[in-house]
Amino acid sequence: MKTLLYTHPVFRRHEVPPGHVERPERYTWVEEALQAEEFSDLDRRVPPLASAVEIDRVHTQSYRELVEENAPQTGLAQFDADTFMGPSSLEAARRVAGAAVAATEAVMKGEAKNAFIAARPPGHHATPERAMGFCIFNAAAIAAMHARTFGARRVAVLDFDVHHGNGTEAAFWHDQDAFYASSHEWPQYPGTGRASDRGAFDNIANAPLMTASGGDAFRRAWGEKLLPALSDFGPDFVVISAGFDAHRDDPLGGLALTEADFAWAMAEIAAVAKDKAQGRLISTLEGGYDLAALASSAAAHVKALMAA
């Protein structure tokens, strides 16, 4: 079975103000990197639009309707200091979520080995009730919840973005069969993700990393804490929130990871997924704001995903 890749031109068209770091070129650079010959075996697919039912498994109906009602025909709508929507943004956000749903179905049905979603806007800061931090709909959490409709009872999201995925944590906090694990810089936006935050059912695992931490600290956090916690949880399905802004060249982060660290994390997560979840795994793009570092890191990640 092959690795799936979900892309769509609308991901480039999601509008933000001039000078915003979550810019269209992020998608363009990742898409171009994944056109290299070494990725010719990817099964490239077009993502559908997520339905209201699929989005509402994570987000409140009132929040989804707020997004839909405020999607502009011209200009920009603003949800917080960092999060904007333009005329193409609602479609982009729905297709990110739709890609997560479609990838989950394909993997759960045994039609594909795993999948990567190269998309924007990102999603892991979007809580059930609000947009924030560039994020509109939380695709990783939506994927995890959708897996349950195909028989996965215990679902997990693993997040190595430089920023803590507060939205995913909030969605999972009171769900004893949902697990969230994150490594992230501390202190850093959004100010959540303390090591002492464990969830209502001890189903949250956070590994804050000091500013300037590099690959050794990152690998210890995952190898000694987060991956053992994932294994103990025993997931039936695994989702990766793949943010690459912990790269040493990223302008928004203060960590010092390299492409080799991201590839290592991908391989190690896949090993646990193979052991506990029949290898059932998908990954969706989150942050990463230095274009060259983002492209090379995403390529290393997908190469490791294909080898899993």
Which residue numbers are catalytic? 125
92 exposed, middle or buried (CB, 10 Å; 0-12, 13-18, 19+)? Answer: buried
By the 8 A CB rule, do 277 and 233 touch? no
269 residue type, one letter:
I
Q: How far, in Å, CA of 171 to CA of 60, rounded?
A: 11
In the DSSP assignment, the letter for residue 222 is I
HSE (CB half, 13 Å, CA atoms) of 284?
33
Q: How far, in Å, CA of 199 to CA of 180, rounded?
A: 9
By the 8 A CB rule, do 119 and 95 touch? yes
